[in-house]
Structure 1
Amino acid sequence: MSGTYNPGGEGAPIESIDQLGEYLAAGCKPAENFRIGTEHEKFGFALETHDPLPYDTEGPSVLKMLEGLKCFDWEPVEEGGYLIALKRNGASITLEPGGQFELSGAPLENVHQTCAEVNRHLKEVREVADEIGAGFLGLGFSPKWSLEDTPMMPKARYGLMKAYMPKVGTLGHQMMFRSCTVQTNLDFSSEADMVKKFRVSLALQPVATALFANSPFGDGGLNGFQSYRSHVWTDTDNNRTGMLPFVFEDGMSFHRYADYALDVPMYFVKRNGEYLDATGQSFRDFLDGRLPALPGEKPVMSDWEDHLSTLFPEVRLKTFLEMRGADSGAWDSLCALPAFWVGLLYDDTALDAAWDLVKDWTADEREGLRLAAGRHGLRAGWRDHSMTELAREVLAISREGLNKRRMLNGYGENEGHFLDELDEIVASGRTRADALIERFNGEWDGSIEPVFTEAAY
């Protein structure tokens, strides 16, 4: 039986602004119930031509991938008669605008389980891809295809976003169709815990950007950045992106974030399975029954959930915190990212140490570090030091946090071993982007085609 998305409009109307903050606060849970969710995206391509996968074609396609994956007990999800997602045991496979495949993992107890989920998913994807003549790339930005070359998936919200993006920034279409990320979603126990984790993870998001930098290509050549994906977010839509300086101000709370979200222009409202164009309109007006897209009607909580999903800061608050600063990458990096953040945020001593490290940073310093990380990676400067030195210190805090969790696998290893790859990157001072640039300028002789083998899963 095919699943369907929430058609929208169901439930009681929201009666007060307080309910919006209370929705976020409902995410609080005791530490023993903390979970880890990992999301990662990847580019599909035809093995024979290295072209992007269209939604449907006689050759390899996105639709054939989704249909093939159903044999692994994934349940189909349709929108407007199109198969656009799959779901299984709390996880889902969804499509980004340009056909990027995204796994949204189930909430799991430890990084060992998260990595096992990633491994199972990529093995399933590779099995189906081999059957249809497709491959998948672990990069943060499309290395070759132009916007014109990139297909758009048949999801109604993407049509609204595509039309709206050029009105609010110059790089929104690049973000939609040509970028891929890996994210980790983590819990909090109280409002104070949320605020502390939010501040630490925002300040240190550029360190993750540098460590996971993996998008030096675009349009068949070098783009001048270590993480072009990170750069794209600097001019996508500044109303809904960035480092959120208000999070570091006195009075930060669930209700303060809700107040920020209310002032971010809307994208859409969903009713009876249809996406109504509300681009640029105000959720505050919606609360008062004055939304032009739905005059006289007030929002329900699913409208608020949808609106929160259209905010794209470096760390996003829902009923959990989303870490959004890293490029998608190689198989092992998809396990390293959740380990990095779990070590920092899920042990109180590590969280305190991380806060001590960042608490005197200014808003200008945090923003400057963000910009430098995208362009220079580990070679970015930091005060009188380098990003490499900062990353080494942060990794040591994370590893200690993971060691103290004492979450062991069947071989008696704790979660700290997932950081080994990142320690090697810091020790060498060379990111994945550096390695790709070196090969492009060397043995690849300026050709982008070898990346479809070297960066494939």
Structure 2
Amino acid sequence: MIDYRERNIKKIVDYFVSGRKENSYDLTLGLELEHFVVDKKTKETVHFYGEKGIAQILERISIYYDQVERFEDYIVGLGKDTIAISIEPAAQIEVSITPSSNILEIEKIYQKFLIEITPVLEEWGYCLIESGYQPRTKVDEIPLIPKKRYQYMQQYFEMKNTNGKYMMKGTASTQVSIDYFSEKDFVEKYKAAYLLLPLLSLVTDNSPIFEGELYKNNLLRAKIWEEVDEERVNIFKYLDERELTFEAYARFVYQVPLIFYEDEQKLIKTNQSAKEIYKNKEMDLKEMEHVLSMVFPDVRLKKYVEIRYADSLPIEGVLSYLAFVKGLFVEMNSLNQWIESLEIKDFEQQTIGKYNIMENGLEGIIYNRPVKELLNELFSLAKSNLIGDEKNHLERLERQLINDKILFKNKELDKLL
């Protein structure tokens, strides 16, 4: 008798193994940046449907793209060689840029997107807002886009009575993916990214508003995400005392309820996990990638390590953050030594520190050290691995945070009011 569970687990592990990159000296960065489209005057979010809605914006800019994805006659995705445009649940526009080791190249690709979309936005009195949370409109006032997957997700989170609707309709992020070169390298980068979460989330905190009101604390998106669905977001609780490996991560995703899956080109709602749905079937590539996409940890594994916790930032901030991530992760020996110096006993210390930073921000304490002290050390470490424009981008962020003590959410607040 065929053991499909173990066969499918092995397929997922093999998928991770195939993601290893060969050249450990050439770290590439992938970028996904989400935006709100808002009315310039009112700052109200533009809906997907209707005259001059997001769907019509996509129609207008589709002339620039080779690939056009439609659902029920609406464009829901665009793509060409170096960039893909997709739509999040509340019509947030996500720009995904092909991984590159050159941050300047990422900037050029993004600026070309702005050249394509800005004339349409200007004509209709709109603008793009990069913020971690909706600047004005409340989530209950925003319709979902016409993808059934999002309808099923909303129903699932309503049943679970979680923060799912705020996550889906209210948030926008900057996500950066980085290469791994071996299973050991994956483990080191994954753990490091997880332990750095409270610090890098603060560095990129750009969420001054929640549901139309000023948000007084810090790390709003982190707060929302951790209350979405714990079994879906917390891999280390699942692991308990077990070691993180490709196989351990595969077993984590395999036991999480899928919310929906595709069967004969139809989406089926479910509360079952892949372990149950595919107990008598070998998964194909599309099914496997769907399983991997239905877990939402702050750091996610695909064929790369996806660091998901930064808020949506203006492009200048994105470039500084990319430089920070590159400077920290391009040479793991230094970062590993720095983490070892903190003498972190368990991952619970990350959670304790995160809550402290939520309340105290730059004046907070984490890993028994002042936040500002640790950030100083991280900036120094990252700068030592950068040169030229990349180092300049990082130094601009360092001056803003360390010298001026200004978070993005304070710097960008005037744009949202």
TM-score by length of 2: 0.91
2:51 matches 1:62: no
- Residues 287 and 274 of structure 1: CA distance in aligned 2, closer, same or farther (over 3 Å): closer
Query: CA separation of 1:311/1:374 partners in 2, compared to 1, >3 Å: closer, same or farther?
Result: farther
Aligned: 1:47 with 2:40? yes
- 1:41·1:180 contact (CA, 8 Å) conserved in 2? yes
Q: CA deviation at 1:153?
A: 0.7
Provide Cα deviations, 1:216-236, integer angstroms capped at 9, x if missing partner. Answer: 212322122223122111211
Query: Whole-Å Cα distance in 2 between the matches of residues 321 and 347 of structure 1?
Result: 15
Alpha carbons of structure 1 residues 373 and 128: separation in structure 2 relative to 1, 3 Å = farther
Query: Aligned pair in 2 of structure 1 residues 15, 377: CA closer, same or farther (>3 Å)?
Result: same
Indicate the SS of the match to 1:329. coil
Question: How big is each residue's C-alpha offset from its partner over 1:232-257, in whole Å with a ceiling of 9 and x where there is no partner?
Answer: 11211111114635679563210011
1:398 aligns with 2:398: no
Structure 1 residues 418 and 89: CA distance shift in structure 2, 3 A: same
- Is the contact made by 1:316 and 1:324 (CA closer than 8 Å) also made in structure 2? yes
* Structure-2 change in CA distance of 1:318 and 1:254 (3 Å): same
Q: Does 1:451 pair with 2:416?
A: yes
- Mapped to 2, the partners of 1:135 and 1:179 lie a distance apart of 17
- Relative to structure 1, the CA distance from residue 20 to residue 436 in structure 2 (aligned partners, 3 Å threshold; closer, same or farther) is closer
The residue that corresponds to 1:129 in the other structure is: 121
Q: Does the Cα contact within 8 Å between 1:140 and 1:227 map onto a contact in 2?
A: no
2:230 to 238, 241, 256: 238
Q: Is the 8 A contact 2:261 2:269 kept in 1?
A: yes
Q: Which amino acid aligns with 2:9?
A: I
Residue of structure 2 in register with 1:433 after alignment? 409
More helix by share: 2
Tell whether the 8 Å contact from 1:140 to 1:327 is kept in structure 2 after alignment: yes
The Cα shift of 1:182 comes to 0.2
**Structure 1 residues 249 and 38 mapped into 2: Cα distance closer, same or farther (>3 Å)?**
farther
Aligned to 1:423: 398
Q: 1:46 to 1:303 in 2, by over 3 A?
A: same
For the 8 Å contact 2:30–2:176, the answer to whether it is kept is yes
Per the alignment, residue 227 of structure 1 pairs with: 219
What residue in structure 2 maps to residue 288 of structure 1?
A: 279
Following TM superposition, by how much is the alpha carbon of 1:105 offset from its aligned partner in structure 2, in angstroms?
A: 0.9
SS of 2:174's equivalent in the other structure is strand
Please give the secondary structure, in 2, of the residue aligned with 1:239.
helix
Distance in 2 (CA, whole Å) between partners of 1:22 and 1:68 is 41
Q: What pairs up with 1:134-173 in 2 under 5 angstroms? A: 134-173=126-165
* Cα distance in 2 between the residues matched to 1:377 and 1:38: 26
1:403-439 CA-to-partner distances (Å, cap 9, x unmatched) read 4xxxxxxxxx2421221232011222221223456x6
The answer on whether the counterparts of 2:68 and 2:77 sit within 8 Å (CA) in structure 1 is: yes
Q: Secondary structure at the match of 1:356?
A: helix
When normalised by structure 1's length, the TM-score is 0.84
Let me know the Cα RMSD of the aligned residues: 2.4
Whether the aligned pair in 2 keeps the contact of 1:77 and 1:83 (CA below 8 Å) is: yes
What secondary structure, in the 3-state scheme, does the structure 2 residue paired with 1:390 have? helix
SS of the counterpart of 1:176? helix
2:317 matched residue in structure 1: 333
Match of 1:192 among 164, 184, 192: 184
Equivalent residues of 1:14, 1:299 under 8 A apart: no
Structure 1 gap segments, 5+ residues each: 1-11, 290-296, 404-412, 440-449, 453-457
Equivalent in the alignment of 2:259: 267
Q: Give percent identity, aligned residues only.
A: 23
Unaligned runs of 5+ in 2: none
Structure 1 residue 214 displacement after superposition: 0.9
**CA–CA distance in structure 1, aligned partners of residues 293 and 33 of structure 2:** 16
Partner of 1:180: 172
Deviation at 1:161, TM superposition (A): 0.2
The equivalent residue for 1:372 is: 356
Deviation of the 1:41 alpha carbon: 0.5
Instruction: For 2:78, give the aligned amino acid.
Output: L
What is the DSSP-based 3-state SS (H/G/I as helix, E as strand, rest coil) of the residue aligned with 2:131?
Answer: coil
Matching residue of 1:407: none
Paired residue for 2:330, among 342, 346, 357? 346
Q: 2:111 maps to which residue?
A: 119
Paired with 2:116 and 2:219, the residues of 1 have a C-alpha distance of: 28
Q: Is the 1:199–1:248 contact (alpha carbons within 8 Å) kept by the matching residues of 2? A: no
- Distance in 2 (alpha carbons) for counterparts of 1:217 and 1:152: 21
Aligned partner of 1:447 in structure 2 is: none
State how many pairs are aligned. 412
* Secondary structure of 1:144 counterpart: coil
Question: How has the CA–CA distance of structure 1 residues 171 and 184 changed in structure 2, closer, same or farther, with 3 Å as cutoff?
Answer: same
* 1:140-159 deviation digits (Å, cap 9, x = unpaired): 01122112221211111000
- 1:313 corresponds to 2:297: yes
User: What SS does structure 2 have at the residue aligned with 1:106?
Assistant: strand
